[in-house]
Amino acid sequence: MAKTVSEVFVETLIEAGVRRVYGVAGDSLNGLTDAIRKSNQIDWLHVRHEETAAFAAGADAQVTGKLAVCAGSCGPGNLHLINGLYDCHRTRVPVLAIAAQIPSSEIGSSYFQETHPEQLFKECSHYCKLVSQPEQMSRVLGIAMRTAITKQGVAVVIIPGDIALRHCNSPSLSLGLDHLTSTTLPSSQTLEKAAALCGAQFFPLHDRKRPPNATFNVYQSADDQWFLIVVQPKDWPALANAIGRPELLTDPRFADTAKQAANSTQLTAILDEVFRSQSLPHWREALDRAHITYGVVHQPQDVINDPQLPANDIIVPLEGAGERLKLTVSSPIKVHGVSKVTAQRAPELGEHNEEVLKEHGFTSAEIDGLLASGVIPRVPNLEPAPAGGGE
């Protein structure tokens, strides 16, 4: 059985990792809200005003770093999104706005509530396109979401209510994007010019092969362990003897600190070859004996497995987060005279809805009615989370 445009639309959102849509329901959004209602992988979060929906999506994107979605019905519904979308766009957060449109057969007829979202949202979005055919939706939606994520801003998909209800033969699409944020750095020449403008000096990134000082550099041992040596000029003879290369002391290229700096590339190559000839335990013993300052460069796994972390309550057990997450970083905040509570996972969105509503005077019957009507989401059974406080 063919799916509707709205169903494929919602499946594509879920495929992209979207778990909630903020908005105000309206008849031009019926197809979309009904498709969300039928899914247990995405929630419709009803707000009192579309402007709030756009601001909520922006906050969601700010907190999670992921694509967030808001929606407004045709005419004034999506017009109300504009303040929040300007905020999202200027603060550079990935937000997809779904702007419903009047029936497609009425576009251009001065129909009641007819507006032109393509023009209205032009200045507060990187991408704003109208879906006029069911076959068009998947591609337009994919481009919109990719644009919002890669350009870190707003993308708008405009879809007439009747198009959203039609059958769609196109499958849901995967974005095919790595959600890790890329980093763009200016060239070293540009940074040098910028530094000169404010009277500063730009120091380029450390080049291990061509350091300004070969005796203040990182080296690799035979067992693939990295370590940093910090050798003062007075300790240069001790280092040369400790590594078994006393002839370096009479080498004219390294006769003093100035010559060592001028020939740091050659000295680095020599030290590289020497340090790679033995394992880290060998160099620990040799450098300790010569009283040379050094430090081992630990890998992330070494840090995680460091027994000092749990011994000093830096890493503590975490309750309620399932089998895959057993430990967490302890909160550094301490209150005098108050014992710290056990670390527990953060509550899921809406997990304490019923508890909060009861505190505000709602009866169990009223809360059941809100759950049944979908005003508040049903949260799946979870391990208990703290009602307040925690690590």
Q: Based on the domain organization, do 127 and 19 belong to the same domain? A: yes
Residue 299, pLDDT score: 79
How confident is residue 1, by pLDDT bands cut at 50, 70 and 90? low
pLDDT tens, position by position, 201-216: 766 677 899 999 999 9
Residue 182, pLDDT score: 66
Strand 226-230 versus strand 293-297 pairing type:
antiparallel
Range of the domain at 277: 206-297
CA–CA distance, 48 with 22 (Å, rounded to integer): 10
Q: Based on the domain organization, do 114 and 93 belong to the same domain? A: yes
Q: Is the confidence at residue 389, as pLDDT, over 50?
A: no
Amino acid at the residue 135: E
pLDDT tens, position by position, 38-93: 999 999 999 999 999 999 999 999 999 899 999 999 999 999 999 999 999 999 99
Residue 384, pLDDT score: 53
* pLDDT, average across residues 94-114: 90
Nearest to 340, CA basis, from 307, 314, 309, 311: 314
CATH assignment of the domain containing 52: 3.40.50.970
Position 378 in a domain: no
Residue 390, pLDDT score: 41
Position 379 in a domain: no
Q: How many domains does the chain have?
A: 3
How confident is residue 339, by pLDDT bands cut at 50, 70 and 90? confident
User: Which two structure tokens, joined as six digits, stand for 332?
Assistant: 């550094």
Beta-carbon contacts of 117 under 8 Å, excluding residues fewer than 6 positions away, are: 78, 99, 101, 128, 130, 156, 158
Q: Based on the domain organization, do 164 and 231 belong to the same domain? A: no
Q: Based on the domain organization, do 22 and 144 belong to the same domain? A: yes
Highest mean pLDDT among 280-289, 335-344, 360-369: 280-289
Position 83 in a domain: yes
Q: Based on the domain organization, do 293 and 313 belong to the same domain? A: no
Contact 260, 214 (CB under 8 A): yes
- Cβ-in-10-Å burial (0-12, 13-18, 19+) of 278 comes to middle
Q: Based on the domain organization, do 42 and 123 belong to the same domain? A: yes
Q: Is the confidence at residue 391, as pLDDT, over 50?
A: no
Residue 25, pLDDT score: 92
Q: Based on the domain organization, do 7 and 132 belong to the same domain? A: yes
Q: What percent of the chain is modeled with pLDDT above 70?
A: 94
Say which residue, 139 or 173, is predicted with more confidence.
Answer: 139
pLDDT tens, position by position, 103-112: 988 888 888 8
Give whole-number Cα distances, 108 to 113, 328, 361, in Å: 11, 58, 50
388 Cα distance to chain centroid: 25
Q: Is the confidence at residue 27, as pLDDT, over 60?
A: yes
Residue 203, pLDDT score: 64
Amino acid at the residue 289: R
Q: Based on the domain organization, do 83 and 161 belong to the same domain? A: yes
Look over the chain and give the mean of its residue pLDDT values, rounded to a whole number: 88
Residue 189, pLDDT score: 81
pLDDT tens, position by position, 156-194: 999 999 999 999 888 887 776 655 556 778 887 888 888
* pLDDT, average across residues 266-289: 96
Nearest to 53, CA basis, from 78, 75, 29: 78
pLDDT tens, position by position, 230-250: 999 999 999 999 999 999 999
Phi/psi at 329 (5° precision): -80, 130
Name the domain boundary from 246, 274, 297.
297
pTM of the predicted model, to two decimals? 0.50
How confident is residue 121, by pLDDT bands cut at 50, 70 and 90? very high
Q: Based on the domain organization, do 20 and 53 belong to the same domain? A: yes
